[in-house]
Amino acid sequence: MKRTYYAFLLLFVALYLNNGFAQIPDDEFSLLRKEISIESKKSPLAGIKKVDEILTKFNAQLAKHQQIRLLYLKSWYQISSDRIEEALSTLEQTRLLAKDITEPGILYSYYGITASAFNYIESYELALDNYMKAYKEAPLLKQPQFIQQTENNIGHVYLKLGLLDKAEYYFNRFYNHAVENNLLSQQGVGLNNLGETAFYRGDFNKAEELHQKALALRKKHGYEYHQSWSLYNLGRVYFAINELDEAEQFLNLAIERLTKQNAKSKALMPKIELARMFISQNQPLKAEKILEEVVLLSKDYKKLSTLKEALTEIATLKRLKGDFESALSSLDERNTVVQQIAERKSSIGLAHMVSQTELQTKEMALQQLEQEHQLAMSIAKSEKQIGLILLLSFMLLTSITSFFLYRLNRKKLQLQNLLTRLKRTQDKLVESEKMRAMTTLVSGMAHQLNTPLGLVITANSSLQSQVEVLTNKLSDKSLTQVQLSHFLNESNELINLSQRNSERAAEMIQTFKMMSAKLQMNERRQFEVLGFLRNKVPLIIRTYNQSIQYQITGKEIVISSYSSVLLKVINQFIENSVRHGFEEIETPLIKISVNIKLNEIEIHYSDNGVGIEQEKRSKIFDPFYTTRLSDGNLGLGLNIIYNSVVHIMHGQVECLGNDEGAHFLIVLPKNISSETVE
């Protein structure tokens, strides 16, 4: 958040460009803003509460641009208090309010604060998209500092994404502008940013030089808070070049300064870096004490990223101590945090895209309402004129009759319009339900694919970074055989990691394809169900390294259907029994019975496993529903069964109650007519 401080100031200053009419004078409005500022120093939540109080109390007296200024403040406090969803909702309100305001600073501020929200939750692609939109709006303000600050923000996002050349380009533009205009604080920021870029390139000498310059400038001009970041970055540099005494000194100074500045949450990363250094020095007690403190503070401040880093280092520490069980426990907790981060990014990103669509719909609706209002005003004016004419001219009875007929026709037209609007509303509700279902499906797929694709991106990014380091060493003629061998080994591991997770993603995509009712299937044919099952089920059971007993009973019946699809359904049932039902069963047993019922057949499948709880039976056929997500299950098996039975074989499938194990009933027609096949 430290890097967005100047951005916030500039965004807020942009709001002063519009001095339109307000029922509350500007000087009184400034006093209200001071009250908010005083409250926000207690906590961001106090600032939010104060903004709401003022909006409620002075709602009728505030001009639109004044309301927007207050809502921007509120959204900023919401971001600071980790209420990102609420902040995006507040920003949506400002966008609707700003539709009739031509002030260029309004859109610049909207995109800038929205980008800050996504930057906060590390959704860097969405942050970059909004910063780029703000960048297009910045020249309209006709003040260069808005352009330069936005370039600095864009550079930070590129840095987080590992695109160092692009990051360095924007950082250089920001720093050169600061030098040309003698902006000392911005010069310190620019030097710090360029130092971080050099650090990630592996050019530690250059990184040290730039961070030392930034520290000297900040000390000279009394920028106390920003000195802590120079100290932190120098600590990282000295740790990287194995000058551990200096690293410890600078990291401790950074922690001390940040704590003194009441920025305890910002001191978490220097503490993690210090713990890493103690681990490298084989000082586990010191490292463990720091990491436990970081875990507690991360949970208090809801800092999931630092919590993830701390748990990773704790797992490493436990592994080095030989406490593998505790190490696995820490890794499990870390993976849960990673999943929470991914789910939050996914849900907020999806909600943002949906809200943008809804925002456009609302803007169109507001335009339509405005047009209807203008039309109503015109109609009301016309009716008034007609009434005056009637009163003054004492129209004849025929004229009065004509007037009532006119009114009757208007009522009829209004009723017709009302029916038309009701029909449109009905259509919108149907589309809304479709969108909800699609949102659920997309969210589930995104959640499942996030982990393997994230690992692929991480592996590729790491490999790219190592290639750049190797290229630099090759150019400098400092490459050794040991370094080359180390690079080849790590490259092979990263490529294997990328390959495995690419294959995992491909497997997931294939599984997603099977959710469609249009599964690949063979031609319909006639076959004896009981004999078919007695022939195929033993072959399926043999594929599992487990002693499983089975019973296949019933009456023989010939049906015309898809034998290959039925085989997939039975195979999926058996797989579910093995994976979910038989883990603690000494003598697994599967029972399949075939019954005849008029023009249908019933196939009962049951096992003696752990069974399915009653409250879960209504959800088990839903896509992505699983109680074993941590084991890698996608929760698609029973959904595929449902699609196969219902949409391909035109039957029914349900989960029945059972005293022991799971019990499913499949009802199929004896013959699938050509009219029912798509």
Q: In the prediction, which pLDDT does 174 show?
A: 92
The Cα–Cα gap between 254 and 232 comes to: 5
Confidence of residue 671 (pLDDT cuts 50, 70, 90): confident
What distance in Å separates the CA atoms of residue 456 and residue 276, rounded to the nearest whole number?
25
Amino acid at 597: K
605-649 per-position pLDDT tens digit: 999 888 888 777 767 777 765 655 445 455 566 778 888 888 888
Q: CA-CA distance, 634 to 67, in Å (whole number)?
A: 46
CA angle (448 as vertex; 443, 454 as ends), nearest 5: 105
For residue 21, name the pLDDT band (cuts at 50, 70, 90).
very low
pLDDT tens, position by position, 579-602: 888 877 888 999 999 998 888 999
The lowest-confidence range among 131-135, 140-144, 420-424 is: 420-424
User: In the structure encoding, which two tokens stand for residue 27, read together?
Assistant: 């000087």
pLDDT at 77 over 80: yes
Mean of the pLDDT values across residues 184-205? 93
Can you give the pLDDT at residue 371? Answer: 63
Amino acid at 546: Q
Name the more confident of 96 and 316. Answer: 316
What secondary structure letter does DSSP report for 671? B
Tokens representing 123 are 């959704």
Measuring CA to CA, which residue among 130, 167, 163, 121 is closest to residue 11? 130
Q: pLDDT class for 207, splitting at 50, 70, 90?
A: very high
- Reduced to 3 states, what is the DSSP secondary structure of residue 280? helix
Over residues 318-373, the pLDDT tens digits come to: 888 888 898 899 889 889 988 888 887 777 777 777 766 765 565 565 556 656 65
Q: Please tell me the distance from the alpha carbon of residue 620 to that of residue 613, in angstroms, as a whole number.
A: 10
Q: 3-class SS at 25?
A: coil
Length in residues, the chain: 678
Provide, rounded to the nearest whole percent, the portion of the chain with pLDDT above 70: 82
The two three-digit tokens of residue 328, written as one number: 């696995």
Q: Which alpha helices (H) appear in 477-553, and where do they start and end?
A: 481-513, 529-542
212 Cβ contact list (under 8 Å, min separation 6)? 234
SS3 state of residue 288: helix
Among 166, 149, 148, CA closest to 157: 166
* 8 Å CB contact between 619 and 625: yes
Residue pair 178/187 in contact (Cβ under 8 Å)? The answer is yes
Residues with Cβ within 8 Å of residue 228, at least 6 apart in sequence? 253, 254, 257, 258, 261, 263, 266
Q: Is the pLDDT at 577 greater than 60, yes or no? A: yes
- Report, as an integer, the average pLDDT of 168-182: 93
Provide the pLDDT confidence category of residue 18 given band limits of 50, 70 and 90. very low
Residue 82 pLDDT: 79
Q: Quick one: tokens of 50? A: 């104060």
Instruction: Tell me the mean pLDDT in the region 286-299.
Output: 90
What would the two tokens of residue 434 be? Answer: 């479709």
Q: What is the mean pLDDT of residues 180-209?
A: 93
| pLDDT value, residue 636 | 62
- DSSP assignment of 52-84: HHHHHHSGGG--HHHHHHHHHHHHHHHHHTT-H
Q: How far apart are CA 188 and CA 171, in angstroms?
A: 12
- pLDDT for 166: 94
* 559 Cβ contact partners less than 8 Å away, ≥ 6 residues apart: 526, 527, 529, 601, 668, 669, 670, 671
Full 3-state SS string of 181-204: CCCHHHHHHHHHHHHHHHHHHCCH
CA 271 distance to own-chain centroid = 28
Q: Between β-strands 525-528 and 558-561, what pairing exists: parallel, antiparallel or unpaired? A: antiparallel
Confidence class of residue 191 from pLDDT cuts 50, 70 and 90? very high
pLDDT of residue 515: 47
According to DSSP, the residues that pair with 604 across neighbouring strands are 593, 665
Question: Above 70 in pLDDT, residue 453?
Answer: yes
Q: How confident is the model at residue 195 (pLDDT cuts 50, 70, 90)?
A: very high
Q: For 225-274, what is each residue's pLDDT tens digit?
A: 888 999 999 999 999 999 999 999 999 999 998 888 888 888 899 999 99
Number of H helices, E strands in the chain: 23, 7
Q: Does residue 212 or residue 365 have the better pLDDT?
A: 212
Q: Whole-number mean pLDDT of the chain?
A: 81
CA–CA distance from 576 to each of 602, 606, 608 (Å)?
A: 20, 11, 12
Q: Which of 49, 17, 18, 23 is nearest to 36 (CA)?
A: 49
DSSP assignments along 202-220, one per residue? T-HHHHHHHHHHHHHHHHH
Between the ranges 380-384, 477-481, 503-507, where is the mean pLDDT highest?
477-481
Per-residue pLDDT tens digits for 469-481: 888 888 887 878 8
Report the C-alpha gap between 610 and 174 in whole angstroms: 64
pLDDT for the residue numbered 434: 45
Average pLDDT over residues 152-171: 92
Q: Which two tokens stand for residue 55?
A: 């909006």
- State the pLDDT at residue 215: 92
- Cα–Cα distance between 460 and 453 in angstroms, integer? 10
pLDDT (mean) for 201-227 = 91
Residue 302 contacts residue 269 (beta carbons within 8 Å):
no
Output phi, psi for 671, to 5 deg: -135, 135
Cα–Cα distance, 236 to 253 (Å, whole number): 13
pLDDT tens-digit map of 135-150: 888 888 888 888 889 9
Of 665 and 460, more confident: 665
* Domains with residue ranges and CATH for the chain: 22-142 (1.25.40.10), 521-677 (3.30.565.10)
Cα 592 from Cα 83, distance rounded (Å): 53
Q: Is the Cβ–Cβ distance between 511 and 643 less than 8 Å?
A: no
CA dist., res. 30 & res. 36, Å (int):
10
Q: What token pair was written down for 29?
A: 């409005």
User: C-alpha angle with apex 327: 445 to 280, nearest 5 degrees?
Assistant: 110
Q: Is the pTM of this model over 0.85?
A: no
pLDDT score of 492: 83
Burial class of residue 539 in the structure, from the number of CB atoms within 10 Å of its CB (0-12 exposed, 13-18 middle, 19+ buried): exposed
pLDDT given at position 6: 42
| Burial classification of residue 197, based on how many CB atoms lie within 10 Å of its CB (0-12 exposed, 13-18 middle, 19 or more buried) | buried
Q: Could you tell me how far CA 625 lies from the centroid of its own chain?
A: 20
Q: What is the DSSP string of 549-573?
A: EEEEEE---EEEE-HHHHHHHHHHH
Give the C-alpha separation, 502 to 508, whole Å.
10
| Cα→Cα distances 377→149, 372, 382, Å | 47, 8, 9
Q: What percent of the chain has pLDDT over 90?
A: 24
In angstroms, rounded to a whole number, what is the distance separating the alpha carbons of residues 657 and 618? Answer: 11
Q: Compute the average pLDDT of residues 93-108.
A: 76
Q: Give the Cα separation of 277 and 244 in Å (integer).
A: 7
